[in-house]
Amino acid sequence: MSNGFAQSIDAFLTHLKTRHYSPRTLDLYARDLARLAELAAGRAPGELVSHDIRRFLATLNGRGVAARSLARTLSAWRNFYLFLARNNQAAANPCVGLRPPKGEKRLPNALSPDEMAQLLSADEATPLALRDRAMFELMYSSGLRLAELVGLNLDSVDLDSGEVRVRGKGSKDRIVPVGRQALAALRAWLPERHALSKDPQALFVGARGARISPSMVNQRLKRLALQHGVNRRVHPHALRHSFASHVLQSSGDLRAVQEMLGHASLSTTQVYTHLDFQHLAKVYDQAHPRAKKK
């Protein structure tokens, strides 16, 4: 690494520290910029042009760097050059207009209806078990994100109307229906919650009475899956994916699913049509006379 490159990187990382970036983010920036310096092969940052950056991305892609990592790397390089341009160390940003290679789009990890029934089967009546069932019934019933679940307050749920008010991404509120099973689980949890809670607002609390943390929700869901013999990797977002795919399979109403998930764009919701197609394809293979294997 040339002295000029090293000094520029150090100045940029110092700038990020003053803006209170996390140690993890700083480490990632340092790693991505070290890659840039290595690929520059002794040239100063200000000497690189758009063609060089495009070639560097192709080199990293050829080394097997994943598309998501390439996107992060390009973002780090772009921000680095923004900093250099503001400090008159680069005439232009060679990363402007460049996009990383597209990676394979993964389908959401949804459980089957039978797996969801197995996961949510009630077999314990301890306060924490009742809380867990209420949390996971509600996530599956209403398609909640993990952050939305832990942010719920007592007044977020209207048991009489069967609705939950959710504060989603971008601080946007939406109202989502709550199913019968989730309402029953919430009614079973609330008396235990009143006895346990030290937080006057939080709907879901931990063993010590404070609002439950996202990591604890994740931990309890893994425990529940293990307890009930669900032999798949189950994470909180899988319940949201399961909600979306099951409602879409039953109703075919993509717009309604979009509204309930709180997606700003219909294109974000359309990924679930692939899951729906997989379901239909399976039905077709089993039912169509010309599709059945002899």
Is 86 among the catalytic positions?
no
Q: Is residue 102 part of a domain?
A: no
Is 240 among the catalytic positions?
yes
Is 29 among the catalytic positions?
no
Q: Are residues 73 and 37 part of one domain? A: yes
Please state, in angstroms and rounded to a whole number, the distance separating the CA atoms of residues 236 and 220: 10
Q: Is residue 250 part of a domain?
A: yes
Q: Is residue 105 part of a domain?
A: no
What is the average per-residue pLDDT within 169-198? 88
Is 263 among the catalytic positions?
yes
Q: Is residue 14 part of a domain?
A: yes
Q: What is the count of structural domains for the chain?
A: 2
Q: Are residues 173 and 73 part of one domain? A: no
What is the average per-residue pLDDT within 20-40? 91
The answer to whether 133 touches 189, Cβ cutoff 8 Å, is yes
Answer yes or no: pTM beyond 0.75.
no
Q: Is residue 104 part of a domain?
A: no
SS3 of the chain: the string is: CCHHHHHHHHHHHHHHHHCCCCHHHHHHHHHHHHHHHHHHCCCCHHHCCHHHHHHHHHHHHHCCCCHHHHHHHHHHHHHHHHHHHHCCCCCCCCCCCCCCCCCCCCCCCCCCHHHHHHHCCCCCCCHHHHHHHHHHHHHHHHCCCHHHHHCCEHHHEECCCCEEEEECHHHCEEEEECCHHHHHHHHHHHHHHHHHCCCCCECCECCCCCECCHHHHHHHHHHHHHHCCCCCCCCHHHHHHHHHHHHHHHHCCHHHHHHHHCCCCHHHHCHHHHHHHHHHHHHHHHHCCCCCCC
Please state, in angstroms and rounded to a whole number, the distance separating the CA atoms of residues 232 and 248: 22
Is 145 among the catalytic positions?
yes
Q: Are residues 272 and 130 part of one domain? A: yes
Instruction: Quick: pLDDT tens for 204-242.
Output: 999 999 999 999 999 999 999 888 888 888 888 888 888
Catalytic, out of 43, 174, 237, 279: 237
1-5, 98-102, 174-178: which range is least confident on average? 1-5
Catalytic, out of 17, 31, 99, 169: 169
Is 102 among the catalytic positions?
no
More confident residue, 25 or 279: 25
Please state, in angstroms and rounded to a whole number, the distance separating the CA atoms of residues 104 and 274: 14
- Sequence letter at residue 264: A
Catalytic, out of 35, 133, 145, 193: 145
Catalytic, out of 35, 240, 241, 246: 240
Residue span of the structural domain in which 247 resides: 113-286
More confident residue, 254 or 154: 154
Calculate what percentage of the chain has a pLDDT beyond 90.
Answer: 39
